């Protein structure tokens, strides 16, 4: 068992802030189902994100916009059943919190009650501050998400690096401070220049978890299916692939097909 695993029996929002102040980097991966969550939690991850990237990864949609609250609750409750130690963050999907703080609170309460998730994540800054504040009044921990926010893809037009220009960088820094002052326990920064991400992380006492945000932040998050190499077409610069499961699983399927066709499977030992 790693030192971090021994030190924190269960990860809480408080232990994450402690990790930041001790200079210990925070690890986070996505999961959408029981089996994957079990592997990841038992390996010692600090946080699991039940991301709305499930819309792409699990359902094959082009964007994160179509996934519903009911579907997120289904994924989150499967993950929660597997987890013993890590903190589980659940994305509030598109259309369940923007422009209506009462609806935002109702959506967050449904996630907490029906999935057993430990916290929620919302995309955006000042525009959604009312929703964040209202959710926080119910004692629900909130993680912010700035930089590339995929629920706004039709506003951005592309998935390229955000906040390269001064004006957008200044707004991002202001939003990050605002999210901290509202009471968010942490922040995801997606696809922004590493210098800006470090500046934001250094200016906040809450942990900043990066994806494509460089090495100056307090932790890293990746989409598990990408880092396992299960997805093939997606190859951004920030992605490190730890396995090539697309090839390995494909080869396993080919071997199985061949064994079935050749009558090698099942053998005498593999039957009753
Ligand atoms: O939905 C997701 O997987 C995310 C990560 C990319 C941070 O929000």
pLDDT digits (tens, 9 = 90+) for 122-173: 999 999 999 999 999 999 999 999 999 999 999 999 999 999 999 999 999 9
pLDDT of residue 6: 62
**What pLDDT sits at residue 5?**
57
Q: For the whole prediction, is pTM greater than 0.75?
A: yes
- Between CA 163 and CA 171 the distance in angstroms is 9
- pLDDT number for residue 170: 98
Long-range contacts of 180-183 (CB under 8 A, 24+ apart): 180/204, 180/205, 180/206, 182/129, 182/132, 182/133, 182/136, 182/142, 183/132, 183/133, 183/136, 183/142
From the CB of residue 205, how many other CB atoms can be counted at a distance below 10 Å? 8
CATH 3.20.20.60 holds for 13-241? yes
Summarize the confidence of residues 55-80 as an average pLDDT: 98
Digit-coded pLDDT (tens) for 91-132? 999 999 999 999 999 999 999 999 999 999 999 999 999 999
pLDDT number for residue 7 = 75
Instruction: Name the residue of 150, 189, 222, 231 to mutate for ligand 1: max ligand atoms within 8 A of Cβ.
Output: 150
Q: Alpha carbon of 81 to those of 76, 85, 159, 264: distances in Å? A: 9, 11, 33, 37
Our answer on whether the CB atom of 51 is closer than 6 Å to any ligand 1 atom is yes
- Expressed in angstroms and rounded, the spacing between residue 51 Cα and the centre of ligand 1 is 5
What is the per-residue pLDDT for 2?
Answer: 58
- Ligand 1 atom 8 nearest Cα: 51
pLDDT digits (tens, 9 = 90+) for 209-238: 999 999 999 999 999 999 999 998 889 999
Q: How far is the CA of 254 from the centre of ligand 1 (A)?
A: 32
pLDDT exceeds 70 at position 46: yes
């Amino acid at each position: 068992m790693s030192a971090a695993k021994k030190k924190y029996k269960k990860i809480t929002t408080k232990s994450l802030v402690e990790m930041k102040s001790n200079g210990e980097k925070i690890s986070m991966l996505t999961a959408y189902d029981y089996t994957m969550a079990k592997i990841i939690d038992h390996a010692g991850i600090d946080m699991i994100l039940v991301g709305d990237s499930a819309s792409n990864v699990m359902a094959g949609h082009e964007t994160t916009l179509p996934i519903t609250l009911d579907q997120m609750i289904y994924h989150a409750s499967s993950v929660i059943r597997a987890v013993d130690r890590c903190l589980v963050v659940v994305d509030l999907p598109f259309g369940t919190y923007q422009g209506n703080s009462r609806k935002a609170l109702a959506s967050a309460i449904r996630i907490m009650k029906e999935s057993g998730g430990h916290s929620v994540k919302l995309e955006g800054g000042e525009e959604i501050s009312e929703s964040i504040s209202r959710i926080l009044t119910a004692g629900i921990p909130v993680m912010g998400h700035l930089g590339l926010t995929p629920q706004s893809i039709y506003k951005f037009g592309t998935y390229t690096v955000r906040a390269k220009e001064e004006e957008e960088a200044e707004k991002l820094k202001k939003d990050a401070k605002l999210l901290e002052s509202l009471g968010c326990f942490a922040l995801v920064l997606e696809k922004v220049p590493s210098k800006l991400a470090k500046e934001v992380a250094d200016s906040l006492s809450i942990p900043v978890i990066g994806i494509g945000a460089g090495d100056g932040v307090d932790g890293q998050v990746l989409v598990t299916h990408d880092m396992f190499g299960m997805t093939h077409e997606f190859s951004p610069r920030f992605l490190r692939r730890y396995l090539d499961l697309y090839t390995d699983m494909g080869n396993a399927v080919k071997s199985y097909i061949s064994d079935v066709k050749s009558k090698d499977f099942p053998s005498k030992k593999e039957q009753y």
